[in-house]
A = this chain, B = another copy of it.
Amino acid sequence: MSRTFTDRHRVVAFPLGGIGTGNVSLGARGDLRDWELGDRPAKGNRSPNTFFAIRFQVGDTPPIAKVLEGPIPPPHDLSHGYHPNTAAGLPRFAHATFKGEYPIATVDLAHPDVPLDIRLEAFTPLVPLDPDDSGIPGAVLTWSLRNRASEPVAVTLVGSLINPIGGLAYDGFGNLAAGGLGGNRTTVRDTDGLRGVFLSSDSIDPTDLRAGDLTLVTTHPDVTIAPAWLRGAWYDFLQAFWDDLVTDGLLEDRGYPMSSEPGTTDTASVGALATLAPGASVDIRFLLSWSFPNRTNAWWPDPAKGRIRNHYATRFATSWDAATYLAREMPRLEGATRRFRGVLFDSTLPTEVLDAVSANIVPVRSQTCFRLEDGRFHGFEGCFDDAGSCEGTCTHVWSYAYTVSALFPSLEREARRIELTLETDDTGYMSFRAHRPFGSEFRWPWGDQRPEAAIDGQMGTVLRAWREWRLSGDRAWLEPLWPGICRAMRYAAEHWDTDGDGVPDGRQHNTYDIEFHGPNPLSAVYYLAGLRALEELARVMADDAVAADARARFERAGPRTDELLWDGEYYVQRIDDVDAHRYQHGTGCLADQLLGQLHARLLGLGDLLPSDHVRSAIGAVFRHDFRRDFRDHVNAQRTYVLNDEAGLVLCSWPKGGRPRLPFVYSDEVWTGIEYQVASHLILEGLVDEGLEIVRAVHARHDGLRRNPWDEVECGHHYVRSMSSWALLLAASGATADVATGTLGFAPRWSQDDFRCLFTAGTAWGSYRQRRTAEGLEARIEVEGGSFALRRLVIDGAVALELEEPRRLSPDQPLRVRVGEPYPYPG
């Protein structure tokens, strides 16, 4: 059962919007909040006068009108109260109940006097494997009403939206200030079954970053539309709108010129009219869409750089076009979205895992990521409230993330292309932040130094090239990358392994934004995994020399790593004086010590180190780094977990040896690392430990403390949190190799009756296994795409091997009884 939230849960913000489109979020009260539709994040940005309201009349009783939101929770400590353009003073519903199963959220509203069941359902289409149809700049908002009264109820359900084009600004009192407003045009339209308003600007230049338009329409047949609220003094706009609505449920067209006065803008309202017989229901669907096509061709708005359009603008010239597409393709888009949500949540996996997996799809559909008209895909690490945070699709952070490769693998392939062709130089040095697509070079903001290459990011990119190959089997994509992969690995051997023993020991920059010195498990294990990926890719590329060399290096490096770093319980950094350099970890138990091993396991690269050591070490990470209470935790760094909360710190020193100044972040807690450790624990059969970590993250994101759909590290919607998809991979043991046509499953629990979502590069669907009297029966139902299956592996054993591939597709499910001939009867 997914959690429910109420109006008390003031930090709930469920992002709507697609890949590279920006977002508007749904709050737990049913409020639309955090309007960040433009070229950058805008947390807290509100849209004045923008809300849904209902006016209803039961039989001949007096009409009642209410804003379709739950109560505004405290604190109410604004210097001047709530401004009328927040509509805070209008009647609302006494109770709101919110449920979010990404990508679909619902809000139920109730009030003592109101004899209507009222539900809002909101989503932006999410079609696995299809970033275009998962990248529509709009949202579907469906109000479902049911009349519980014994008399007919006449209803007007009205959505209002301000025209913000040019930019909203406020004076100190909260009144709208002139800013870039003026010439804001409202166009009332009724075409293709859509009725509503198109909001644009006559005054903003189309190349301006602020240029754009918004659409609010309903598919409901019977409508009443006010193109503009009263252009009055003081707070008359709201009084007049409300009185207009209450009086007869019909909205007045005041006959203003359709373009606003200089320095002002208009608010438009679109109402749907219905009369519900006793017991009757109606669904009233609104579509909200937007188009803010322009960005600078740079990571941040930079006047020196030219304009470039968002990818979505190549598909939809305006928001009206997006709405039209959304409406026309609704059955397909809505169907795929519902099936995805259904398969993901109709699972035997625990709610905490499903929430972790689904909630961290958000980063790729947030302002953290963007797509450009020339096909490029880029990601920050996360978002400041009002800007991207840490540019460059940062290799070391993105290496933790599995979600995008699982759901939208073409985007990850594009990132590898940039990293391995543009950002890896002739020496194999890879800039861990991509700047060259924008015609610049990454430099530290201080001085003008070229940053060192990051060993974890560089190895991660090689590993992910292998991953993307497995999920695509796309040689045309891989071949141009192959030289870069070879150079990147050669660079590692030459620059980091200074003594040539296969264990990096040089100055090793990494994701903690510092350098480790000497042999250490993060670098060493990542390097081992990189060597294995190199070997496998070399086989694909039929480059036997490279394959043999990688193998040889790996076979030398593996034992040496274990010999050097194993302390009998876990792996440690070997450094004579841990304080000789600042920011080391020494004997500390590093949560990330086996990250390379996790990747290797998930990507079919096998054991890098003795399996008993791995199992011991990942157990030690949980034992030493997980804390069930933070009240006495000493953390002089950034604070993500506190008080009575639980979480996994990045490092601890159970045996002493803590450096005077340990590496920055060592005392912090990052969900992205918590998920990778939890995944590894689950893979190793330490399921309770893994789930306890996931539950701790879940409890911290309870809608009161933190937003369940915003896991923060160095920014909102932080990319590292997309490691949560590894929980699904670990729990289900799902593997996929498109090139060899292999699918594999190995559930870590409830093996007798197990079901979950899977994705496999070219297909996605559900996997189910059941143990009956006749044996273990497995069923694969593809819900989207197709997969040419040659081999099915269950619990590590081949359950099905086919001479000719069988194409699994939505109308071609697969049922296998393990150990029996295929196809078996019945």
Contacts and interface: CB of A to CB of B under 8 A. Distances in A.
A74 B705 contact: yes
Copies of this polypeptide in the complex: 2
Interface stretch (A18-26, A80-88, A412-420, A485-493): A80-88
Interface stretch (A639-647, A788-796, A810-818): A639-647
A628 to B, nearest CB: 15
A643 B71 contact: yes
Given A89-B639, A243-B660, A384-B172, A710 B71 contact: no
Given A90-B635, A637-B235, A79 B712 contact: yes
A544 B684 CA distance: 102
Given A10-B75, A642-B76, A664-B234, A631 B91 contact: yes
A633 B75 contact: no
Task: Give the interface residue-count category, chain A.
Answer: 35 or more
B661 A236 contact: yes
A95 to B, nearest CB: 11
- The main secondary structure of chain A at its interface with chain B is loop
Interface in A64-102: 71-72, 74-84, 86-92, 94
Interface centre among A87, A173, A700 (most CB of B within 10 A): A173
Nearest to A91: B632
Interface in A231-255: 232-236, 238-240, 242-243
A90 B634 contact: yes
A80 B10 contact: no
B242 A634 contact: yes
Given A172-B389, A582-B233, A643-B71, A712 B78 contact: yes
A704 interface: yes
Interface centre among A232, A639, A640 (most CB of B within 10 A): A639
B704 A75 contact: yes
Contacts of A713: 80-81
B639 A77 contact: no
Given A238-B636, A636-B242, A389 B233 contact: no
Given A11-B75, A389-B172, A668 B81 contact: yes
Contact of A71 (B11, B113, B582, B631): B631
A76 to B, nearest CB: 5
A423 interface: no
A707 B74 CA distance: 11
Interface in A659-717: 660-661, 664, 667-668, 700, 704-707, 710, 712-716
24 contacts: A71-B642, A74-B704, A79-B385, A80-B384, A80-B389, A80-B712, A80-B715, A81-B638, A81-B640, A82-B639, A82-B640, A84-B637, A84-B639, A86-B639, A89-B667, A89-B668, A90-B636, A91-B632, A234-B583, A234-B661, A235-B664, A238-B636, A242-B634, A243-B660
